[in-house]
Amino acid sequence: MIKKMIPEHQAVWNNCLRIIRDNVNEKSFKTWFEPIVPIKLENNVLTIQVPSPFFYEYLEEQYIDLLKKTLRRELGNDAKLEYHIVMDKDSVSESPLTLKLPGKTTSEVKNNPVNVPLSDEKPVINPFAIPGIKKLNIDPHLNPSYSFDNFVEGECNKLARTAGYAIATHSPGSTSFNPFLIYGGNGLGKTHLAQAIGLETKERFPDKTVLYVNANKFQTQYYDSIRTGNVNDFIHFYQMIDVLIIDDIHDLGGKMKTQDIFFHIFNHLHQNGKQIILTSDKAPVDLQGMEQRLLSRFKWGLSADLQTPDFETRVAILQKKIYNDGIQMPQEIIEYLASTIVTNIRELHGALTSIHAHTLLTKKQITLEFAKEIIERLTKHTKKEVSIDYIKKVVCSYYNIHPDTLQQNTRKREIVQARQIAMYFSKNLTKSSLNVIGMQIGGKDHATVLHAYRTVKNLIETDKSFRLQVEEIERKLRI
């Protein structure tokens, strides 16, 4: 029997897969590498077919270094990679996107927006359901403890709380507060208030379909629907919701394809009198990386901010927590906590829990001195949150330039270097996506951020003077 020869491009890709499998977990391998089909190999250029534009973008952002190393190992240092991107189930893009390792900016590929009306021809797939269970039974994903009863009202949140209660007690979607966007800093109660609206709605209108979902979860479900070919089912599912609560909508910044889908879901719900509730860390006018058409819709209803609670409100929050948890705590300790932790309700709750836990474990009596010791230990080891704006400010201060110069389209060496260092630290010290980092630092794309990160990393390893500068900036950032 004559053994069938494997085409060269297939053999090269098979060798690459063996290396890749050893460097990623099995789930990632099955999701992001098994669907890839090698097409051809010419002049050290390997062409692979990927199932969607998003698939291509994800590979370039998350696995470009791994692809670069494996391909160079197989084909040498002049290896190149081309992508054929499947635009729909029946066609392949005629002009492949070319990526010259280690990666360059490529034009964004956009699909036509999908907005398919509801259909009764087949059951809609619930993205929250366990695979194999076809019955549509939507869990609202609400935490019972996040009720209005447990939400302490103060001057810092009065408008948002009043508007939220009005939405829940009237027929949701019928008020002028649609959409209702709650914004404010971390730990000020945005999630609590949003879920309280959902809980109160379910209590008063049990037939209403309420759903709470974090923006990152929404994005993941959308990506999964692309991979499995169930985008229409994904859209259908969200078009069925009566009260849709999207937490941390700012996390969709820079994710244009997800924004495009959400835009059409938003339009369908709003036009059909359904209630939309959003939370964000910033007001609509300050959101970065969001399409203008989405921002304009966020302004249709009411935007209400949650501010830092004053001393009296912080005391009331602690007293409510103590009462609910059945804890006994001297008033002087409550007031000490309220005067020491002033910016974040979540940290306030955490400090109270820590003191109570240490008391139970050590069998010590709760005293003011003991509480001070615990809080000092907590604040000493609490990692400071760093924002992109703060990173830009520190970097520009070090190089004695104005932060606005990072936004200028200039090739001056000192500005380019400062911009790259700001991108480097933003990738290392924040949870922002590459798209959001690029948008906030010079209006660049994710490929530019990746290039800046690699450039700075390489200079740190090869240039002692540069390394000392970066280390000094890092010390300033961590003060």
DSSP H helical segments within 170-272, as ranges? 190-204, 215-228, 231-239, 256-271
Domain map (residue ranges) of the chain: 8-99, 158-306, 311-381, 388-477
Task: Check residue 249 and report its DSSP letter.
Answer: G
- DSSP annotation string for 9-34: HHHHHHHHHHHHHTTS-HHHHHHHTT
Terminal alpha carbon distance of the chain = 72
Scanning the structure block, which residue is given the tokens 């809080």? 375
User: Given this model, what pLDDT does residue 87 score?
Assistant: 52
Considering the domain 158-306 in this protein, what is its CATH number?
3.40.50.300
For strands 91-92 and 97-99, give the pairing. unpaired
- Integer Cα distance of 202 and 204 in angstroms: 6
User: Given this model, what pLDDT does residue 135 score?
Assistant: 36
Q: Which two tokens stand for residue 26?
A: 């099995």
Task: Could you list the beta-strand ranges (E) of 248-354.
Answer: 275-280, 302-306
On average, the pLDDT of the chain sits at: 80
Which CATH class name applies to 311-381?
mainly alpha
Q: Which residues of the chain have pLDDT under 70?
A: 1-4, 53-54, 86-137, 343, 378-385, 478-479
Asked whether 61 and 73 are in contact (CB, 8 A), the reply is no
Pick the CATH number of 388-477 from 1.10.1750.10, 1.10.357.10, 1.10.3210.10, 3.40.50.620: 1.10.1750.10
22: which residues sit within 8 A by CB, 6+ positions away?
Answer: none
- The structural architecture, per CATH, of the domain 8-99 is 2-Layer Sandwich (3.30)
3-state secondary structure 48-67: EEECCHHHHHHHHHHCHHHH
User: Given this model, what pLDDT does residue 380 score?
Assistant: 53
